[in-house]
Amino acid sequence: MFTYLFTKAIVMKKFKFLLTLTCIFLVGILYSQPVPSWNFDTPMVDRFWIAMDETFDTVPGMNGGIINNPGEDGRWYFYDAADPWFNIWFWNGDFLPMNSKHVVIGFWAHVWDPGFDGEIQVVVNWDTPDWAWPPPQPPAPPLPPFSPPEQELEFVGRSPVNLFPLPASGEMQWIEFWWEIPDFNPDWISVDVWGQNFIIPMEQPLPPPDSPLFPWISPWWNPAEPGGIIIHECVPPDPADLNYEFGDAPDQSLAYIDGTIGDFPTCIRAIPTDYNDYISHPCPNPLFFGGWVDCEEDGNAGWCPYFNPDKYNEDECGGTFPYPPNPAGIIDEGLMMPGAFTITGAVGSETYAPCGTLTVPLGKVCDIANWGQQIDAWIEAQGTTTGYFHLLIDWNQDGVWANDPATTCGGQMVPELVVLNHPIAGPYSGPLSAIIPPLPPVQIGPKDGYVWARFVLTDDTYGPLPEDWDGHGQFDLGETEDYLLYIAPEPVPLGNWPILMVVALIAIFTVIFLRRKM
């Protein structure tokens, strides 16, 4: 006769379990875990097997797993930084910070040496974002040893411990549980076990039809494959959660390829972060740039705070040329000019690259950029509500939007808060260059190179924004678009050198000519 255990995660100290727990097990009372509220659609399926003797060591030749993807090796690794575990890793798909993960595990187990009680402890492990981003090359899970040992806790996430006692009679036990990783989809997932005198054999009977998780396991159980089963699926975000719009500039990530880290208020999940240190707007709403408002879970199309490598400008990049006369319903981004750029390349080898075919700079250092000539953006202000336009540009390229007294042209400080609280009377559909009253020209800063700019439309949620506003806030209307723009250097003045060179050449040829005449 088979019995099975269905347990909620029970956190217990290694090597010990309560006598009452053992008694409950022996009389066949089950531990209930509510069944999942979700079902699998197209999950990944892996198999595993392992045995451990009474000395807490693995039994040679009895340990392995199916290899389905590159990077998997079917090996069990020993981890001992916090508590001792044996662990087998399976590739889980790309790391996706906006997604989640559903996991179900099921297997038959019994004591390795009949006549002695056994126990098995099982958890689900996964690699954390600290390991997954930037992705290691070649792809690999966080394997021991770690130096320092504390890195195991930094790079490996873990579910609570599921502890199952096994009777000395050798009776087969069906063990199953499920887990959800709600905050991201890791690229590696693992089955971890510990205990004594147990075996998860390669030969596995069919799962018991009356087990609570049978509907989740049976469609993916292949009797021809050995071992227990782990079923795991990457789950996209619920569209109902995509009800806000955020910025795109790097937050706690590389902002400029000279190594400057951006601290622009973009990400909810940036670490470290200050409360409300990001910008957001409801999605959808009637005040926006370009064709529509892009809805996301966090900044940079949900990729926050992961930008480097190759995840900049994930929802829009600018640089679309020629720009449609009326972009409504065509493209999201609103930038019409100048050209926009992005950062590409592996960590340590980043370069700037155009986002589109338009590559013209905003202008030269300390020049004036006029709306409709060097800079412009398309806006939609539907309805009669008055909106407000704001523009911030990081002239000194230090990774924040804040005025710097040392950033000057002609002896005057060039503010990074370029436009503040400029009214947009609705309804209006068209370029910023045509709004009434007109926008003031943009004084370009004194440093050439690339600069992060934030274009913002808001309502009056907070009233007029202050003169030291840094680009953050949670508004009731509007949209934010961030772009990497280029400032051209001032041409090097030639001075009198060209004239002197011409005079010198004339003198040389005159001397040569006169000598030939002599």
Q: Work out the widest C-alpha separation in the chain, in whole angstroms.
A: 127
CB neighbour list of residue 326: distance below 8 Å, 6 or more residues apart: 429
| First-to-last C-alpha distance (Å) of the chain | 125
3-state SS of 8-54 is CCCCCCCCCCCHHHHHHHHCCCCCCCCCCCCCCCCCEEEEEEEEECC
List strand residue ranges (DSSP E) for 283-337, in order: 287-289, 335-337
Both tokens of 162, joined, read 């599921």
Give the C-alpha separation, 119 to 441, whole Å. Answer: 74
CB neighbour list of residue 117: distance below 8 Å, 6 or more residues apart: 111, 165, 166, 167, 168, 197
Give the C-alpha separation, 140 to 402, whole Å. Answer: 41
Both tokens of 505, joined, read 């050449």
Give the C-alpha separation, 62 to 70, whole Å. Answer: 23
Give the C-alpha separation, 361 to 375, whole Å. Answer: 9
DSSP-assigned letters across all residues of 435-452: -SSPPPPEEP-S--EEEE
Residue pair 255/262 in contact by the 8 Å Cβ criterion: yes
Give the C-alpha separation, 390 to 166, whole Å. Answer: 66
Instruction: Enumerate helices (H) and strands (E) in the chain, giving the number of each.
Output: 5, 33
Q: How would you classify the pairing of strands 449-458 and 478-488?
A: antiparallel
Whole-prediction pTM: 0.78
Radius of gyration for the alpha carbons in the chain, expressed in angstroms and rounded: 31
Residue with tokens 């004339």: 506
- Rounded to the nearest 5 degrees, what angle is found at the Cα of 128, between the Cα atoms of 127 and 129? 125
pLDDT per residue of the chain (518 residues) written in tens, 0 to 9: 333 343 323 333 233 333 233 333 332 323 357 899 999 999 999 999 999 999 999 999 999 999 999 899 999 999 987 779 999 999 998 999 989 999 999 999 999 999 999 999 999 999 999 999 888 888 899 999 998 989 999 999 999 999 999 999 999 999 999 999 998 999 999 999 999 999 999 999 999 999 999 999 999 999 999 999 999 999 998 887 788 999 999 999 999 999 999 999 999 887 665 556 899 999 989 999 988 788 888 999 889 989 999 999 887 775 454 445 555 444 557 888 999 999 999 999 999 999 878 899 999 999 999 999 999 999 999 987 889 999 999 999 999 999 999 999 999 999 999 999 999 999 999 999 999 999 999 999 999 999 999 999 999 888 899 999 999 999 999 999 999 999 999 876 555 556 666 666 676 756 565 566 55
Q: Which helix H or strand E contains 145, and what residues bound it?
A: none
Taking only the tens place, the pLDDT of each residue in 88-128 is 999 998 999 989 999 999 999 999 999 999 999 999 999 99
Give the C-alpha separation, 212 to 496, whole Å. Answer: 89
Q: How would you classify the pairing of strands 228-235 and 44-52?
A: antiparallel
Give the C-alpha separation, 380 to 288, whole Å. Answer: 5
For residue 245, the one-letter residue type is E
Residue pair 348/309 in contact by the 8 Å Cβ criterion: no
CB neighbour list of residue 405: distance below 8 Å, 6 or more residues apart: 413
